[in-house]
Amino acid sequence: MSNPLDVAEKVAGPLPELSADEIDAAAKRISEIIEPTPLQRIERLSALSGADVYVKREDLTAVRSYKLRGAYNLILQLSDSERAAGVVAASAGNHAQGVAYACKTMGIQGRIYVPTTTPKQKRDRIRAHGGQFVQLIAIGDTYDAAAAAAADDVARTGATTVAPFDDPRTAAGQGTIAAEILEQIGGTPDLVIVPVGGGGCLAGIGTYLRERSPATAILGAEPAGAASMTAALVAGGPVTLPEIDPFVDGAAVRRIGDLPYAAVSKFGGRVRSHGSLPLLTATESPRGAGSFRLMQVDEGAICTAMLELYQNEGIIAEPAGALAVAALAEIRMEPGATVVCLLSGGNNDVSRYGEVIERSLVHRGLKHYFLVDFPQEPGALRRFLDEVLGPDDDITLFEYVKRNNRETGAALVGIELGAPDGLGPLQKRMHDSPIQCERLDPGSPAYRYLT
């Protein structure tokens, strides 16, 4: 099976170098169909952080993500023979929509491979954008499986791959976001926060800022369950993660691209002697003008950011789209600093909001699960409600795990607290009660069955 990271090398002719000049050329090239997206100041985020916070609204493009930029920039540069052979792409969903839109716009046939875990909303939008010009193929349960299938297709058919991140033309198109930010901000932003999946967007934006605004600090935000850029910088090259959490589907990539790694490794991030990358933690600020850091963001924190954006600003962000905003909540900023968060996409399936709310509650310390052995006698549940539960606590799940004629029956009980500090008193009441209770810790094997 072909290595999907080698596919970009199979196009005819040498590929351009990723540079600020090439990104400026890409901006001019794609301007025929892609208008600049708004740079919106968010009062709530500014008040919470003490900084002057702007959000780059890539969710407002024609395909509701920044991926259209890279896909269109690449396809526009194909030769007539390459266009005639058709294109192939692999994507978790957003890049596929960009490719589909470009194929329909230019009348090019394309085959798009997505993992079976891609939300239905994204699959429907791919078909809508591509129409008769695109064939959608769902295969495997991760982006990397879809990428391998796409690579095999290219090897068999001679089609041209439209890489989602590991191609300088794709990265240059995505880097046009940085050119727009500098023009719209009318100066030098102190910090730009970029979500990181395969690394193409970070490579493009970072390359442009390093050349055109070197005093701007850059923060790459990765989902904690798929930190492939961190792994690459620690290892000294791209590595394949053995396991990832696919929840942040737009950034859940097992292995970053070679080109993004080569670009990002030049941004000044370093590996400490004990083997860990310098990551930002809560209350730590990005130090030094022009600095580069990576940060891993918990999936639950991303869900909280999604819900807050929706409830306060009316912005529908997908998990990867909310990554940068979630990272902002975890760091300390200098008062008055100018910060830009890239809201990379808004293709969120409404059916996922149940899981989004659940993960947010768990992250905020409001949702907990217990195995409770109830005595098989009348009034046992009533005593649990009266003696164990607090006045602001609610049972959100109650399922008997096993109930028979024995003295006790085990039940799985989900409890939502009124406040995070209610867990300690709840556990004390459980300890003092004759009813046996065991908390299921997040991350434990038993807990994984709940999420």
pLDDT tens per residue, range 226-271: 999 999 998 999 999 999 988 898 898 899 999 999 999 998 764 4
Average pLDDT over residues 209-235: 93
Assign 92 a pLDDT band (cuts: 50, 70, 90): confident
Does the residue 13 lie in any domain?
no
Same domain, 53 and 133: no
Question: Mind listing the pLDDT tens digit for each residue in 32-59?
Answer: 899 999 999 999 999 999 999 999 999 9
Question: Mind listing the pLDDT tens digit for each residue in 427-439?
Answer: 999 999 888 898 9
Question: Which CATH number is 424's domain given?
Answer: 3.30.70.260
Determine the Cα angle at 97 with ends 80 and 2, to 5°.
65
Residue among 49, 65, 67, 367 flagged as catalytic: 67
Question: Mind listing the pLDDT tens digit for each residue in 361-400?
Answer: 999 999 999 999 888 778 888 888 888 998 999 999 988 8
Question: Mind listing the pLDDT tens digit for each residue in 274-325?
Answer: 334 444 444 455 555 678 989 999 999 999 999 999 999 999 999 999 999 9
Residue among 213, 344, 360, 367 flagged as catalytic: 344
Classify residue 421 by its DSSP letter: G
Same domain, 204 and 320: yes
Question: Mind listing the pLDDT tens digit for each residue in 132-144?
Answer: 999 999 999 888 8
Does the residue 267 lie in any domain?
yes
In the three-class reduction of DSSP (H, G, I as helix; E, B as strand; rest coil), residue 164 is classed as: coil
Does the residue 15 lie in any domain?
no
State yes or no: is 433 an active-site residue.
no
Question: Which CATH number is 111's domain given?
Answer: 3.40.50.1100
Same domain, 215 and 330: yes
Does the residue 147 lie in any domain?
yes
Does the residue 340 lie in any domain?
yes
Tokens of 71: 């896909």
pLDDT of 448 above 90: no
Same domain, 112 and 145: yes
Question: What pLDDT is stored for residue 374 in this prediction?
Answer: 85
Which run of H or of E encompasses 308? helix 299-308
Chain position carrying tokens 């549940």 = 381
Does the residue 1 lie in any domain?
no
Does the residue 127 lie in any domain?
yes
Same domain, 327 and 370: no
State yes or no: is 67 an active-site residue.
yes
Same domain, 38 and 94: no
Closest residue by Cα to residue 178 from 20, 337, 60: 20
Same domain, 203 and 293: yes
Does the residue 4 lie in any domain?
no
Give CA separation, 394 vs 214, 403, 405, 425, 430, in Å: 52, 23, 28, 15, 15
Assign 272 a pLDDT band (cuts: 50, 70, 90): very low
Assign 219 a pLDDT band (cuts: 50, 70, 90): very high
pLDDT of 151 above 70: yes
Same domain, 146 and 261: no
Q: Which of 169-178, 299-308, 345-354 has the lowest mean pLDDT?
A: 345-354
Percent of the chain with pLDDT over 90: 66
Spatial separation of the C-alpha atoms in residues 353 and 307, rounded to whole Å: 9
The answer to whether the Cα torsion of 258, 260, 263, 267 is positive or negative is: negative
Same domain, 195 and 272: yes
pTM score, whole prediction: 0.86
Same domain, 192 and 244: yes
Question: What pLDDT is stored for residue 286 in this prediction?
Answer: 57
Question: What pLDDT is stored for residue 401 in this prediction?
Answer: 72
Question: What pLDDT is stored for residue 121 in this prediction?
Answer: 82
Strand 367-375 versus strand 408-416 pairing type: antiparallel
Number of domains in the chain: 3
Of 98, 127, 158, which closes a domain? 158
Same domain, 145 and 24: no
What are the percentages of helix, strand and coil residues in the chain, rounded to 5? 45, 20, 35
Assign 403 a pLDDT band (cuts: 50, 70, 90): low
In the three-class reduction of DSSP (H, G, I as helix; E, B as strand; rest coil), residue 195 is classed as: strand
State the average pLDDT for the chain. Answer: 88
Of 334, 355, 376, which closes a domain? 355
In the three-class reduction of DSSP (H, G, I as helix; E, B as strand; rest coil), residue 136 is classed as: strand
Question: What pLDDT is stored for residue 4 in this prediction?
Answer: 36
Helices 20-30 and 200-212: crossing angle in degrees, nearest 10, is 110
Could you tell me the residue range of the domain that residue 104 belongs to? Answer: 87-158
Question: What pLDDT is stored for residue 3 in this prediction?
Answer: 39
Assign 451 a pLDDT band (cuts: 50, 70, 90): low
Same domain, 320 and 206: yes
Average pLDDT over residues 394-420: 81
Of 158, 192, 218, which closes a domain? 158
